[in-house]
Amino acid sequence: MLVFLLVFVLIVYYLWSQRKNFRAWLKIGGPFGYPFIGVGLQFADQKKILKLMGHYKKVYGNFYSGWLGPKFLVATSDPNLIKSVLNSDGCIDKSDLFVALEYLMKNGLLLAKGSNWYRRRKLLNPAFTQPIILEFFDIYNDVVGSFMQKIEERVNSESFDFPDLLSKGVLEIACQTTMGKRVNLLNDENWKFFKHFHCELDILTTKLASPWYHNESIYKLSKLYQKEKLYVNTIHTFTKKIIDEKLEQHKNSEQLSLIDKSENDGNEFVKQKRIFVEQIFHHGVSGALTCDDIDDEVATVLLTAADTLTASTGMAIYSLAMFQDFQDKLREEIYSVFPKNLDKLDITYNDLKDMEYLDMVLHETLRLFPPIPLLFRNVTKDISLDGIDIPCGTQMVINVFNMQRDEDIWGLQAKTFNPEHFSQENHKNINPYTFIPYSRGIRSCIGIKYSQYVVKILLINLLHKYKVSTNTKLEDLKYYVSISLRLENEFDIQFERL
């Protein structure tokens, strides 16, 4: 009897605590799922999340709601609502569901909350300004040169694994530009990092979408937790080694004392201060960041950069392999700036400035294959969307993937690859909130310019030297979300020397 009474009281308390959510759900509509777990069972298979969200969009439209365990979720792919969310001061924090990522990125910029995020973003913004990024062109060209040599060595061999080589090249760039450290990843054949990193992202997605894993004690009993410990260990061993070596080098040099010598410095100091790692060590010395904070920020930047850059460059190359006409057109533009007979390309910012078609190709890639297909925010104070009260504690899900493929927005060719979507004429009619691969508003990506230059330099080098082709068709591709966008298919790709 007592147990029955207790259960009854708990149920009444639960329903009472959810009353504002029920009110919002009745107005917005959406799947109810099952009592207490909501749509948890449907979302537990990460391969189904994107498909399911596409299905809900068809059934409920661009604005719907439901429960994932006790969490009330509101999802949208409506650009006007997205604009309200991304610009609301009640939606700056990442979703509570992102607690799943904490073992990996801890308290770095990507996950930081409230005033802590604001303070850190202010500290880190100066490391990503245009003048600083322009100084990285030497590094970009140098690493991409080594990457091209590796491609050349392996292009005709059976063991040529393009995604593997690409991710190593990109991480090498990230290590050199953010840490000022050469790691020689391109020469490392047996490196487990990316395999473990991708497994970790799979685990994070499953954890994020499965309400029963949101309880730390239950999660720690699961096999998933044991696996996650292994993967996180591989990843942190790598980032920690780089940080420790850099710190040692830093201590041995006179840079720390230089940094200590205040802001009215000469050029030498400014030069030292510019690179990301020098900036954060500087904040370490001033006490603004602790050693753990520095670890977290380095891991965040390296992992975020490596994953998104590999995804966007890879998908651009795959798209151009599937659509030869666009590849030819882009190569024409590349040859107009870098004649065909040039052996080594030393690309500058001025070269990139007027390469309009390259820009269109990159935008179209990020539209059709946004590396981060879903954005998650926590509503930290009551907001109103479309005249409906969305209570504090709601988890907002922004469905970038579906919006950027919506025929009502992008026309009949929405689901195919066509850089003309971003021609000058079409571009001026685009609502900025219909194209948000880097998110938008104050919490958007910090590395936009950085990433655009790296992807462009890689594409120019690859297409200057090789024709890429494939037997895979766009309509055969199957996508799933593993924090970032992934392909279920093995993508066959051939490189032919021009």
Residues that bind ligand HEM (CB under 6 A): 94, 109-110, 121, 300-301, 304-305, 308-309, 312, 366, 371-372, 375, 437-439, 443, 445-447, 450-451
Minimal distance in Å, beta carbon 264 to ligand HEM? 29
Rounded Cα–Cα distance for residues 160 and 256 (Å) = 44
Q: State the minimum distance, in angstroms, from the CB of residue 355 to ligand HEM.
A: 17
Whether residue 379 contacts residue 392, with contact meaning beta carbons closer than 8 Å, is answered with yes
Q: Which is nearer to ligand HEM, 21 or 178 (CB)?
A: 178
State which residue, 25 or 176, has the beta carbon closest to ligand HEM. Answer: 176
For residue 457, the minimal CB distance to ligand HEM (Å) is 13
Q: Between β-strands 395-399 and 71-76, what pairing exists: parallel, antiparallel or unpaired?
A: parallel
Shortest approach of ligand HEM to residue 26 CB, angstroms? Answer: 29
Closest to ligand HEM by CB, 43 vs 438, is 438
Looking at the chain, the number of H-run helices and the number of E-run strands are: 24, 10
* Closer residue to ligand HEM in complex, CB, 210/439: 439
In angstroms, the Cα distances linking 36 to 52, 67, 96, 258, 471 are 20, 8, 17, 58, 46
Rounded to whole angstroms, how far apart are CA atoms 468 and 462? 9
| Residue nearest ligand HEM by beta-carbon distance | 447
Of 169, 234, 173, the closest CA to residue 200 belongs to 234
Which burial class, exposed, middle or buried, applies to 332 when counting CB atoms under 10 A from its CB (0-12, 13-18, 19+)?
Answer: exposed
Contact 479, 488 (CB under 8 A): yes
**Which DSSP state fits 418?**
-
| CB-nearer residue toward ligand HEM: 355 or 366 | 366
- Nearest distance from residue 446's CB to ligand HEM, in Å? 4
CB of 398 to ligand HEM, least distance (A): 8
CB of 129 to ligand HEM, least distance (A): 12
Smallest separation (angstroms) from ligand HEM to the CB of 443: 5
Nearest residue (CB) to ligand HEM, 177 versus 272: 177
Beta bridge partners of 467: 496
CA 474, 475, 480: angle at the middle one, nearest 5? 85
Smaller CB separation from ligand HEM, 20 or 113: 113
Hey, what are 192's tokens?
């487990």
Measure the CA–CA gap between 41 and 60, rounded to whole angstroms: 19
Angstrom distance (rounded) from CA 274 to CA 254: 16
- List the structure tokens of 109: 């910029």
Nearer to ligand HEM, 136 or 269 (CB): 136
